[in-house]
Amino acid sequence: MALLLSAVGNAAFSCRTSGRPIASLTDRSVIQRNGCWNAAPAPNREQERMSIMERAARCSSRCRTAAGFLLAVHASMSTCIALAAAPALPSSVRHSTAVADLQRWYGDTVDDCGGAGMPAYRCSGILLRATRTAAGFQPWEPSDQQTAKGSIAFSWLRQDDGFGRPYGRQNGFILYPNHEVPRGQLGTLQILCSFPITANTNSRPTLQGCGPMAAHEHSTDTCQRLGVTTATQWLDRYAGAKEYQVCGWDLRHGRAEDSARWFKLAAEAHQGLPDARWSINNEVLVSAWPKGSGGRLPLHSFFRVQGVREALVKAQHDQIQYFQRHGRVIPIVQLAFPASKQERMSFSYDVHDQAVGQPAQRGSVDFEEVPVGQHTRVTAGGFQFELSGDHAAVSDRPHPASGGLISGRHLSVDSSVSIALEGAGHRRVAFSWGCNRPCFLQKLISDEQVMLFEQETGEMGYGTMEFTLEGPEALVLVIGKKKDDTALVLDNLQVRELAHRAR
C-alpha cells in the first residue's frame, strides 16, 4: 500500500533578480541523517547554515511481591515468568491513561520487581529511545547493524535516576515495562547492560555491545571485569573520564539473582554525578527484536520534547506511518526534562498533537498583524515560525524589486527560518521568498534540499516556491555565507488542503 507520508517533491518555483527572470533551479536531495541514540548530536541551525546548504489490570506492589515469591519457587527456570496479560484497551481509553502510566512508572522507585533476579526496569521506570524521522524509515524496526550486534540502545529514567535531555534528538518512542506488556506483543525484551552515561556502544564489538571499546579495554570493559562493584567506585574511577570511555554493568554476569543489584548500581552512579554530567543521558542496551516484528513491539507511546515544534511533526509522522503499517494508533506524549536533580520530569498529553484522525493544518499568513521588530519566534495564522540569526525580525522594509512578492510586513533573518507543518493530509504549500546570498529550502522529514537562489553578488533575488505534502513536515529556509548585509525574507505562506488522490 502506498505510504501517505512519502512527501511528494512536485516542487515548482520561479525566480527573478531585480525583476529579471533567472534560470529555474532543480531539486536536490543532499541531506543524509543517521538516526540512532548514539549518533553525534544533531547540528544546530548555525552549523546547518554554515554547511550551506495494556494492560487493563495494573500490578500493585503486592502483586510484584507475590510474583517474586512464585519466581523464587521456580528459580531454576531460566526465563522470566510473565504475568497474566489483559486484553488490549481501546485506543481512546489508552490515550487518556498514557500520562498516568508514565507518571506511575516514573514515580515507582522499587529496587527490584519481586526478587534479586528481577531488575527494576521490568516493572518501573521509562524505557525510551530517541530516533531519527524520515520518509519511509521505520524507527521501530532494527537496522542490519543492530540485528548483527544483537542489541539496540535506549535510555531508562525514573524519579531517582533522571537526566536533563535526550541525546541528539527530540522525539522517539517509549516501551511498556515487561510486566505490563499487552497480550500478543513482545514481552521477552530484556536490558543486557546498563551504563551510567552514554557509552558509544556502537564501538563496542563484543558482548552485544556491552564489552570494551577497542584500545580502551583497561577503562571500558564491563564493570564486573574491572572490579567496579559499587557506585562510589565507579564515580571515583571516572571522575575525569571522557564521555563514552566508561564501564557499564553486564546484567548477565555471574548469578541471575545479581542482575537487580547490577542495574541499581548504574542508576546510583548516574545520580551521583555532578550537575554538569548528570544532565547527560544514561544508556542501556535492549536485546534486539526480530526484523519485521515492529507490529508486535510493545510500543506505549511516541514522545516529543515539550516546546520543540519540529519534534512534534516528526512524532506525528511516526504515528501516522505506524498506523498505516500496523493498524494501531500509538499516542503522542510530551516530555519536559528536569533542569536539575532536584526537579521532577513532567508528562502531558494534548489531543491536538495527535495526527491520526485530526484535520490537516491549513491556512495563510501575511504577517500584517505581527508587530514590527526583533523576534525569535512568531505565531501567526495558526503556524509557528522559529527565527535565528543576529538579525531576526518582522520587517516592513520595502522590496519594490520583488514585483509584489514581498510586500508589507514579512519575516527577515540573516540565518534561518523554521516552520513546522503539523497533521496528516494531502496539502499544497506556497510562499514567497527573497535572498541576497545562496539560500535553500530544507525538508527535514522528506530529506530533501531545494536550492532557491545561487548568486553571491549581494543583490536580492526573489521567487515563489510551491510543493505538495503528504503528511507532517519540518521546513527550514537557510541562507549561507553570512555577512553584515545578509538577508533572507519570507512572506505570504499558504497551506491548503487538496482532495485525496485515488489509491
Would the pTM count as exceeding 0.85? no
Task: Provide the pLDDT for residue 360.
Answer: 82
Q: Is the pLDDT of residue 357 over 80?
A: yes
Task: Provide the pLDDT for residue 94.
Answer: 58
Higher-confidence residue: 221 or 456? 221
Instruction: Say if CB 418 and CB 392 are below 8 A apart.
Output: no
Do 311 and 425 lie in a common domain? Answer: no
Q: Average pLDDT for residues 128-145, to the nearest whole number? A: 94
Task: Provide the pLDDT for residue 118.
Answer: 96
**Edge-to-edge strand order for the sheet containing 126-130?**
249-250, 191-195, 283-287, 151-157, 126-130, 171-175, 299-305, 332-336, 346-348
CB burial of residue 107 (10 Å; 0-12, 13-18, 19+)? middle
Instruction: Say if CB 295 and CB 326 are below 8 A apart.
Output: yes
Which CATH number goes with the domain that contains 379?
Answer: 2.60.120
pLDDT digits (tens, 9 = 90+) for 158-202: 999 999 988 778 999 999 999 999 999 999 999 999 999 999 999
Radius of gyration of the chain (CA): 25
Q: Average pLDDT for residues 262-267, to the nearest whole number? A: 97
Do 324 and 371 lie in a common domain? Answer: no
By residue range, what is the domain housing residue 485?
12-30+359-497
Q: Which of 353, 368, 388 is the last residue of a domain?
A: 353
Q: Average pLDDT for residues 245-260, to the nearest whole number? A: 92
pLDDT digits (tens, 9 = 90+) for 79-88: 332 222 333 4
Q: Which of 322, 337, 353 is the last residue of a domain?
A: 353
pLDDT digits (tens, 9 = 90+) for 378-406: 999 999 999 999 999 999 999 999 999 99
Q: What are phi and psi of 112, to 5 degrees?
A: -155, 175
Domain count, the chain: 2
Task: Provide the pLDDT for residue 56.
Answer: 32
Q: What is the 3-state secondary structure (H, E, C) of 414-431?
A: CCEEEEEECCCCEEEEEE
Do 218 and 149 lie in a common domain? Answer: yes
Q: Which of 318, 353, 388 is the last residue of a domain?
A: 353
pLDDT digits (tens, 9 = 90+) for 446-502: 999 999 999 988 899 999 999 999 999 999 999 987 778 899 999 999 999 998 654
Do 102 and 203 lie in a common domain? Answer: yes
How far separated are the first and last CA of the chain, in Å rounded? 8
Do 384 and 267 lie in a common domain? Answer: no
Q: Is the pLDDT of residue 119 over 80?
A: yes
